Amino acid sequence: MEEKELSLTRELKLSALFVSSGGFFLDGFDLTIISFAILSIKDQMNLNIYQIGMVTSAALLGAVFGALIFGYLSDKMGRKALMGIDLIFLFIFGIISAISNNFIILFISRLLLGFGIGGDYPLSSTLISEFTPAESRGKYQAAGLSLYWVGNLVSAIVTIPLLSLGNDWWRYLFLTGALLSIPIITLRIKMAESPRWLIYKGRLEVSDEKLRYAQIKHASKYSDLFKGNLLKPTIFVTSVWFLFDVAAYGIGMYYPYTIKQFAFSSNYTTIYALILISIAAILAGYVLSLFLIDSLGRKKLLLLGLGLMSIFLILGGFIKITGEWLIIYYMSFVSIEQWAGIVTLFYPTELFPTSIRASAQGLATSISRIGSVIGTFFFPSMIAFLGFSHSLFTFGILSSIGFAITIFLAKETKKQTLEETSYQLN
């Protein structure tokens, strides 16, 4: 009945998945290339350890504001209206990043590029959830987010031939990211609007008026996220995603940096290692999650991911990991990390009604990106002052706190419609 009422044809579902996932692909590409590029930029621009942290985390900082603004506007103007506009930031400021010649210009351009990346998260994730059926929504979500790591993998592959272009090879890498956004922006112009949003706004007639009410559930204002029954899921999605991102991005944005420092000194060997890590994330992380997320469920998969993350990171605090073992450690870690990553990203789209769904997703994304900024900015300093092992241990403790919060606050949403999983304000 739900799919019939919402006119969710197979073509619409696949179109929403493909076009929305293009944003995750670009996010993965653009957020990853700085981790390669910073290895050369830091010497070329004479960056100190704090400037390295600022440049590496700039896009994540921009995402804090982009997610909040685009999420709020999406509930007011629609999902389709903003699809493509967010990616224009990636195109323009990707080009400016490529021609930057000092720390300030590079930082600002990466900051504004991140504004577009942050804006894409509430749009793409909300659209995928609103277009997909209850019984297999998790599979669509996992498949969509897997494109992040495909973008990550492509960025590593593209980097290999560019290394031969001399000291400015990273400029061509940034330019490639900007150009990749053009076809996705073009496809998004033809994107259909979410039927759930149209019902909420009264622009799509339905035979059952209860379906329209289910898109609102008494929640109509941004402030409603912090009131009544909605306060609990707001605390849950923001706190757990924040704690997850401190560790995930703090470590993930410095895979090349730590591999060069503790494993291999060659740029080429480092990139080959990154390719292996990306493949592990896709195969052991996302492909496996396709079979688990709708059967095991969101809560159990999140607990499994956070629990194993905690164990891996705490063990890393007691065992000195170098050389080839560091690559194996990262491949294992990134695989289980994705199980938690999928759920933390899409949980907000399932727990809040259509009227404030994108706003909730934007808020959760924004708070999570504050966590990623903290992790990314401080990780080089943590390694310098605490050591690599103690830094991993610290992230392990944060992940275990997220695990504990999930036990008490998470709600299972598998194989239920969004109308059933979303909380009512009162």
pLDDT of 353-376, one tens digit each?
A: 999 999 999 999 999 999 999 999
Average pLDDT estimate for 128-144: 93
Average pLDDT estimate for 225-232: 97
> Between residues 378 and 244, which one has the greater pLDDT?
244
Q: Does residue 8 surpass a pLDDT of 70?
A: no
User: What would the pLDDT profile of 147-169 be if each residue is shown by its tens digit?
Assistant: 999 999 999 999 999 999 999 99
Q: Does residue 2 surpass a pLDDT of 80?
A: no
Structure tokens at 122: 């509430």
pLDDT confidence of residue 1: 38
Structure tokens at 133: 């059926």
Matching residue, tokens 């492509």: 154
User: What would the pLDDT profile of 290-337 be if each residue is shown by its tens digit?
Assistant: 999 999 999 999 999 999 999 999 999 999 999 999 999 999 999 999
Q: Does residue 209 surpass a pLDDT of 80?
A: no
Banded pLDDT at 125 (limits 50, 70, 90): very high
| Full-model pTM | 0.94
Q: Does residue 175 surpass a pLDDT of 80?
A: yes
pLDDT confidence of residue 18: 87
User: What would the pLDDT profile of 71-95 be if each residue is shown by its tens digit?
Assistant: 999 999 999 889 889 999 999 999 9
Three-state secondary structure along the chain? CHHHHHCCCHHHHHHHHHHHHHHHHHHHHHHHHHHHHHHHHHHHCCCCHHHHHHHHHHHHHHHHHHHHHHHHHHHHHCCHHHCCHHHHHHHHHHHHHHHCCCHHHHHHHHHHHHHHHHHHHHHHHHHHHHHCCHHHHHHHHHHHHHHHHHHHHHHHHHHHHHHHHCCCHHHHHHHHHHHHHHHHHHHHHCCCCCHHHHHHCCCCCCCCHHHHHCCCCCCCCHHHHHCHHHHHHHHHHHHHHHHHHHHHHHHHCCHHHHHHHHCCCCHHHHHHHHHHHHHHHHHHHHHHHHHHCCCCCHHHHHHHHHHHHHHHHHHHCCCCCCCHHHHHHHHHHHHHHHHHHHHHHHHHHHHCCHHHHHHHHHHHHHHHHHHHHHHHHHHHHHHHHCCHHHHHHHHHHHHHHHHHHHHHHCCCCCCCCHHHHCCCCC
**Complete domains list, the chain, with CATH:** 7-202+211-421 (1.20.1250.20)
Q: To 5 degrees, how large is the angle CA 331–CA 296–CA 126?
A: 80
Q: To 5 degrees, how large is the angle CA 28–CA 33–CA 36?
A: 135
User: What would the pLDDT profile of 9-43 be if each residue is shown by its tens digit?
Assistant: 677 777 778 889 999 999 999 988 998 899 899 99
